[in-house]
Amino acid sequence: MIIMAPVLLILLGATEILQADFLPDEKISLLPPVNFTIKVTGLAQVLLHWEPNPDQEQRNVNLEYQVKINAPKEDDYETRITESKCVTILHKGFSASVRTILQNDHSLLASSWASAELHAPPGSPGTSVVNLTCTTNTTADNYSHLRPYQVSLHCTWLVGTDAPEDTQYLLYYRYGSWTEECQEYSKDSLGRNIACWFPRTFIRSRGRDWLAVLVNGSSKHSAIKPFDQLFALHAIDRINPPLNVTAEIEGTRLSIQWEKPVSAFPIHCFDYEVKIHNARNGYLQIEKMMTNTFVSIIDDLSKYDVQVRAAVSSMCREAGLWSEWSQPIYVGKDEHKPLREWFLIVLMATICFILLILLLICRIKLAPLRQKLKSSVI
């Protein structure tokens, strides 16, 4: 027992030392980062940068940082590095805060916040564009092997309600590191730009980056307030209709086939809807499928028009817009032919009925005459 007592004391001392090492946050004071700045690095893009506090007590611990976006849209996240990129609209201004944190399984230590702000750009209220909408579309580029598909961009907007008549708007887009100014505009009756068309862009149709669009303007009478907006590609991409739609009828079996749309997405990345319209009775059938063939049992006495449309499957990207319907394909018998057949049948029956009536009338009329002839002969 006398020998065991020193051993127990040594174990207790080791336990206290280990607890002190694993709970450093109970004895450390955290200081906020310094030199926190927000720098605009592109359209709708900022870089947040800060430095560790030089007076921060150095311990063998892993300090992290919590970033909080205050405006225009609240968000927060954690990082181990001292800078962070943020894609966001800037026409409403931008503000953020950062603080030092130290956390383990039991607690969270945090410093006070360091904050920075970008003010909203100048401009008179009501002069910025409204209802900015953009769509993209993919076309095949037969002259480029490196980029076999090209993406076009079309944007429209309305003139600000308080914008002077001499206001002129200019549009820019940014995708990734590429920024372009529009060169092809449509104008209203006063000559103001109200739409823009990029026949070729640096947008990747299968990309996942945000598309940033900025419209600013100028006027001799007022400062025009800029307006920027972010677009997710899956939400604005206008998929092309399926190609080479064919339909055949064999007895009561309608077989429909088609090819995938012009798109950078492979064949397995599409969902389809098939629309079959019975022109005789107006019945409409719509079926959704993942393959490029469809078979249906039909009434072989009717005429049908068939259309197909496509959308990129959620297996390949977030769900987006359906394409326009393909041009209708007409199959089956003429819807008026059965009516003509029935008309001929009814007409022939009517003629036969009339002839029968006339024959009966003649027999009735001739019956007395026959009777007189018989009497005179006798």
pLDDT confidence of residue 255: 95
Residue 83 resides in a domain: yes
Same domain for 264 and 223: no
Regions of the chain short of the pLDDT cut 70: 1-27, 143-145, 334-342, 365-378
Residue 13 resides in a domain: no
User: What mean pLDDT is reported for the chain?
Assistant: 87
pLDDT confidence of residue 375: 62
Same domain for 231 and 134: yes
pLDDT confidence of residue 370: 63
SS3 track for 324-365: CCCCCEEEECCCCHHHHHHHHHHHHHHHHHHHHHHHHHHHHH
Same domain for 319 and 255: yes
Residue 378 resides in a domain: no
pLDDT confidence of residue 280: 86
The two three-digit tokens of residue 156, written as one number: 């429209």
Residue 98 resides in a domain: yes
pLDDT confidence of residue 342: 61
pLDDT tens-digit profile of 193-212? Answer: 999 999 999 999 899 999 99
Same domain for 324 and 259: yes
Contacts of 344 (CB under 8 A, 6+ apart): none
Same domain for 179 and 225: yes
pLDDT tens-digit profile of 276-285? Answer: 999 888 899 9
Residue 363 resides in a domain: no
Rounded to an integer, what distance in angstroms lies between the CA atom of residue 205 and that of residue 195?
21
Same domain for 229 and 136: yes
pLDDT confidence of residue 22: 42
pLDDT confidence of residue 343: 73
pLDDT confidence of residue 226: 98
User: Structural domain of residue 135, as residue ranges?
Assistant: 130-235
Amino acid symbol at 215? V
**Contact indicator for 171, 193 with CB cutoff of 8 Å:** yes
pLDDT confidence of residue 7: 42
Rounded to an integer, what distance in angstroms lies between the CA atom of residue 136 and that of residue 203?
9
**Phi then psi dihedrals of residue 87, to 5 deg:** -100, 120
Torsion sign (Cα): 362, 365, 371, 372: negative
- Using DSSP, state whether 144 is helix, strand or coil: coil
Contacts of 315 (CB under 8 A, 6+ apart): 268, 269
Same domain for 228 and 136: yes
pLDDT confidence of residue 145: 67
**Phi then psi dihedrals of residue 341, to 5 deg:** -60, -45
